[in-house]
Amino acid sequence: MTAEYLIPLTFAVFLVALLYSSVGHAGASGYIAVMSLFGLAPAVIKPTALTLNIVVAVIGTWQFWRAGHFSWRLFWPFALLSVPLAFVGGYINLPTHVFKILVGIVLLFSAVYFFVQAPRNDKAQEPSSAIAIPIGAGLGLLSGLTGTGGGIFLTPLMLFMRWATVKRTAAVSALFILVNSIAGLAGNVSSTRNFPAFALVLVAAVILGGGVGSYLGSRRFEPVVIKRLLALVLLIAGCKLILT
């Protein structure tokens, strides 16, 4: 990848990390949207998105763990089958047209998520293992196939079903994204025997953008405006993938 191409891509990923972190999100769908708009191939998008997921999820997991919001009892049923199936999803390389349609649907779902505000409940009833385990399995497979980590689905589901409070949901989702992204990346590298070296440059952009966005988001940015802007980007990218 030439510098003329890498520089604007790195800036775009930095901007996505800044905007997502300012509203408390990791940004997996945003990174995929940006790489799709730049015309990158699915073989490059998936491992790169999973790598960026790992970096951001490590930071989020550590922060929520230290703050005491994480619940192992709530986490493990979702993760039990999601991790091996995320590996399987990462190992599978879908045909380009199938990948574009599937990821396009994921991005459109993400756009809707930013437009619709989930209920902010203070009381919650945790789901039974019989419900959480199969849901986690499906999300794990989807996360590996698309490179999203699965959090974009788990977070709204837990909030709408009132399975956890907002902060506990964020804590569980952060670790869910982390373990599934690691498994998905391992599966992808095992299958392709290849890793895009430029992803390491984007990691630096994500760390910097996430740090700046977290700071500004807690002090200056208006969350509603940022969410609408992110939804617009996801909508454009999702339509582009499905229609082209």
Quick: pLDDT tens for 44-84: 999 999 999 898 888 888 878 887 889 999 999 999 999 99
Domain count, the chain: 1
Please state, as a whole number, how many other Cβ atoms lie within 10 Å of the Cβ of residue 68: 10
What is residue 23's predicted lDDT score, i.e. its pLDDT?
Answer: 64
Quick: pLDDT tens for 158-184: 888 889 887 888 889 889 999 999 999
The end-to-end CA distance of the chain, in Å, is 23
Residue stretches of the chain with pLDDT short of 70: 1, 23-24, 117-122, 214, 217-223
The pLDDT mean for the chain works out to 87
Contact partners, residue 52, CB within 8 Å, separation at least 6: 13, 17, 27, 28, 31, 199, 202, 203, 206
What is residue 114's predicted lDDT score, i.e. its pLDDT?
Answer: 80
What is residue 108's predicted lDDT score, i.e. its pLDDT?
Answer: 92
Which residues span the domain enclosing 53?
Answer: 3-243
pTM of the shown model: 0.88
What is residue 156's predicted lDDT score, i.e. its pLDDT?
Answer: 85
Query: What CA–CA distance (Å, rounded) separates 130 from 55?
Result: 31
What is residue 85's predicted lDDT score, i.e. its pLDDT?
Answer: 98
- For 203-221, give one letter per residue: b (16+ CB within 10 A) or e: bebbbebbeebbeebeeeb
